[in-house]
Amino acid sequence: MAGQEAVQKFCAYCGSDGPFSREHIWPRGIIKRVPDYDARYFGNPDKVLSAEHTIRDVCTACNNGVLSELDAYGCRLFDDYFHLTDTRGAPVHFRYDFDLILRWLLKISYNASRSVGIYTEYLQRCVPYILGAEDTIKDVWLLAVLVEPVTGIIRGVYDELPPYGVRAARVETAEDVPLPFIVRLVAVNAFYFLLVITKDGEAANFALAKRLLPGKQVPRTRRSVWLRPSGLDTRDVWLGHMVDKDHLYREHFARRRSKSGEGLVSADLAATRSSRPERHPFQPHTSRDTGNRSRER
C-alpha cells in the first residue's frame, strides 16, 4: 500500500532474511501417523479446522536442515513408542537421546507459542540449543507422563476413550502466587511431556515444579527411563479443553455434515461417568496454542 513501508522479515531461528517456507507446527510425518487427526484446534484464530497448522517465519535452510533432522528423530520415536494409546499393560522402557528429544520438543513448543504470541520470549532463549549451536541448556527440566484411556459409561454403555492425538499448549497450575518458571506441554498420544523453563534463564532448583506437577523426570545423564502409568486418564487432561471448546468442535463437525446421530468425542468426555475421583494436578490452558480430537465417534 502506498505510503507504507514493508516490514522486514527475519527467520525465527537463524535470523536470516529468507527465503522462507512453511514450517509445520506439528511435523507432517507425525500428522501422517495419526490419520484420524482431522479436527485441529487453533489458538489463533480461536477455531477448530481440518487444515494443517503452519507458520511462515522460518527460512528454507532451517526448515529443510536442522529442523527437519529433529522431526525425523521425532518420527522414529513415534514408531518406537509414541504410537501407543494404551500403556496399562506394562511399564514402558523409554530409550532416548536427551538432547535430540529435548531440542525437538522445544522446537514444537516454540513454533506453537509464536503462533499465538504467548511465552515466546522464554522459548526464544532456547533457539541456539534447538539449532545445535549450544551443547547444553541449563534452565529447562523435562518430565514425562503416561496418560491412560478413560473408562466408564459413555452414551449408555461401558466404553473407553484413548488418549489419541497430538497437542502443544501452555500449562497452568493451581498456585495463586507467581512461579519462577513456565510449563509447556507437548503430547503425542499417551506420552505427555512437560517442559519446565525458568523465567530468568538461570539454572534453578526444580523441587517446586516436582511438587506441583505429575510425571517422571527424563534425566540428561541417562539414555533410558522406565515410565509407568501415572493414574491420569484422557478425561483428566482433556476435559477442561473439550468442555470450553465444545461449541467449536460441534460447529466444525456440523460444517462437515457429520452423519446424523453420531456423537462427538467432546460430548463423550463431558458425559463420561467414571468410578474414579476427579484429579486435575495440571491443566493445559484451554484457549491457546494447538490441540486436536479425533473424528466423530
Domain span including residue 34:
20-293
Most confident of 97-111, 114-128, 250-264, 282-296: 97-111
155 falls within a domain: yes
Look at 40 and 75; give whichever has higher pLDDT.
75
Which of 26-30, 112-116, 235-239 is predicted least confidently? 235-239
Alpha-carbon gap, residue 41 to 140, rounded angstroms: 27
Residue 36 lies in a domain: yes
Q: Give the Cβ contact number of residue 1 at 10 Å.
A: 5
Q: Average model confidence (pLDDT) for the chain?
A: 80
Q: What is the pLDDT of residues 246-280, one digit of tens each?
A: 777 777 677 765 544 444 555 454 444 443 433 33
Cα distances from 55 to residues 43, 63, 112, 172, in angstroms, run 13, 11, 9, 25
In a domain, 201, yes or no: yes
Confidence (pLDDT) at 119: 87
Question: What pLDDT, on a 0 to 100 scale, did the predictor assign at position 135?
Answer: 93
Q: Which pTM value belongs to this model?
A: 0.82
Residue partners of 66: CB distance under 8 A and separation at least 6? 130, 131, 132
Q: Does some domain include residue 6?
A: no
Q: Does residue 95 lie within any of the structural domains?
A: yes
The answer as to whether 8 is a domain residue is no
* Residue 255 belongs to a domain: yes
Q: What is the pLDDT of residue 154?
A: 57
The domain tally of the chain equals: 1
> How high is the pLDDT of residue 200?
83
pLDDT of residue 292: 46
Tell me the one-letter amino acid at 196: V
Residues 174-186, mean pLDDT to the nearest whole number: 82
Residue 275 has a pLDDT of 38
Q: Is residue 9 part of a domain?
A: no
